[in-house]
Amino acid sequence: MSRVPLRQALADVPPYVPGARVPVGSAAYKISSNENPFPPLPSVLVAISDAAADVNRYPDMYATELVGAIAESLGVASESVVTGCGSVAVLGHVLTAVCEPGDEVVLPWRSFEAYPIAITLAGGVGVPVPVGSDGRLDLEGMAAAVTSRTKAVLVCTPNNPTGPAVRADELATFLAAVPSDVLVVLDEAYVEFVRDAQAADGLAVFADHPNVVLLRTFSKAYGLAGLRVGYAVARPRLAAGIRVASTPFGVSHIGQLAALASLRASNELMVRVDQIVVDRTRMLAGLRKQGWSVPDSEANFVWLPLGDQASSFAERAGRAGVLVRPFAGDGVRVSVGEPEATDLLLEVTADWLAR
Ligand SMILES: Cc1ncc(COP(=O)(O)O)c(C=O)c1O
């Protein structure tokens, strides 16, 4: 009997490995998925429960009110904002909107593990450019990897999982070298955690470069990972193309109203972000004091370049009650979560060095 053939490209799609989850009834800390450790604000919970009363209806397909509020908060036109089911879905829509089969997409590696998946599913071919041993993107190498076959370049800043942010001067040099008909996606999922004064300002870069698209999310600083709301900021023509490629009704009504309430409460939420940044500084300093060599981080996570020992470190951390994210053979990413999780992690890292 013949079987339904699957698309050939699926064989090349690497699996997305989610961060370990806390087993029911266990007391472990989950710092494996770069989530926000704070529960939703009371005002956001009210918006969520009010919205729940309307779930027999489809949501506003274009998330009009949320799009307007995002646009106002960023100082861009509403036509430039496209929402979707998390920025990971929006990335897929962006690539689907521009890639013809076989087009090349330059990406840093190691970087966000969804990139190779999204590129392949959009019909593109990934061209990975190694991240430096300091965890920084090699923008010069990425510019050099652009050819006449390149349709897009992904720039992750800060880079997940290594941590550093791209500097304004290096991004300016990079953009000057990349042809203006190549799309440059600046993935700013962690932008609210950036404190480096030299870091690139995505909105300013967007204003000056029609080929730049920004990706942002409510999952991290805004603490709505479970509701799946992300968006792209693009010139109206590109944004219209991304909308065409988007899943209809991609953001639920609950997600739209929760994101709106979170934007309204952004002052309160940014106080929490400041607390996470303080704990990031404490984690980095604690690790370095113990003798670890770790890259700077401008995000809500820190990279331990453990190489071959990544998986055994993660196992040991898990046994000690702290779930981290290993990338086998490469390193371990630890998110900045509850201060108690940082305390426990620092005990594990000290024990590891003393073993
Ligand atoms: C760099 C980067 N971009 C995008 C995302 C996707 O976030 P979401 O789909 O939750 O908006 C993540 C999530 O981990 C990320 O690390």
Please write the tens of the pLDDT for every residue from 177-211. Answer: 999 999 999 999 999 999 999 999 999 999 999 99
For domain 43-264, the CATH architecture is 3-Layer(aba) Sandwich (3.40)
Tell which atom from ligand 1 comes closest to the C-alpha of 220: 10
Give the whole-angstrom CA distance, residue 96 versus residue 118.
9
Assess contact for 323 and 22: CB atoms under 8 A. yes
How many residues can be counted in the chain?
Answer: 355
Residue from 110, 212, 207 nearest 153 by CA: 212
Q: What is the topology classification, in CATH, of domain 19-34+267-353?
A: Aspartate Aminotransferase, domain 1 (3.90.1150)
Name the 3-class secondary structure at 157: coil
pLDDT at 337 over 90: yes
- Neighbour order of strands in the sheet with 230-233: 81-84, 230-233, 212-217, 183-187, 150-156, 104-109, 125-130
Which of 33, 160, 233, 333 has the most ligand 1 atoms within 8 A of CB, as the residue to mutate? Answer: 160
What pLDDT is attached to residue 329? Answer: 96
Extents of the domains making up the chain: 19-34+267-353, 43-264
Q: Which residues surround ligand 1 with Cβ inside 6 Å?
A: 34, 86-88, 112, 156, 160, 187, 189, 217, 219, 225, 230
Reading the block at residue 247, the tokens are: 């899943």
Assess contact for 165 and 199: CB atoms under 8 A. yes
String of b and e for 283-304 (b: at least 16 CB within 10 Å)? bbebbeeeebebbbbbbbbbbb
Name the 3-class secondary structure at 37: coil
Give the whole-angstrom CA distance, residue 245 versus residue 275.
38
What pLDDT is attached to residue 110? Answer: 97
Distance between alpha carbon 18 and the CA centroid of its chain, in Å?
A: 13
Please write the tens of the pLDDT for every residue from 264-302. Answer: 999 999 999 999 999 999 999 999 999 999 999 999 999
pLDDT at 319 over 90: yes
Averaged pLDDT, 316-338? 97
Could you tell me the distance, in angstroms and rounded to a whole number, from the CA of residue 353 to the centre of ligand 1? 31
Reading the block at residue 203, the tokens are: 């909105």
Please write the tens of the pLDDT for every residue from 45-89. Answer: 999 999 999 999 999 999 999 999 999 999 999 999 999 999 999
- Non-local CB neighbours of 95 within 8 Å, separated by 6+ positions: 105, 118, 119, 122, 124, 152
What pLDDT is attached to residue 243? Answer: 98
Tell which atom from ligand 1 comes closest to the C-alpha of 88: 9
* Global pTM exceeds 0.75: yes
Please write the tens of the pLDDT for every residue from 135-149. Answer: 999 999 999 999 999
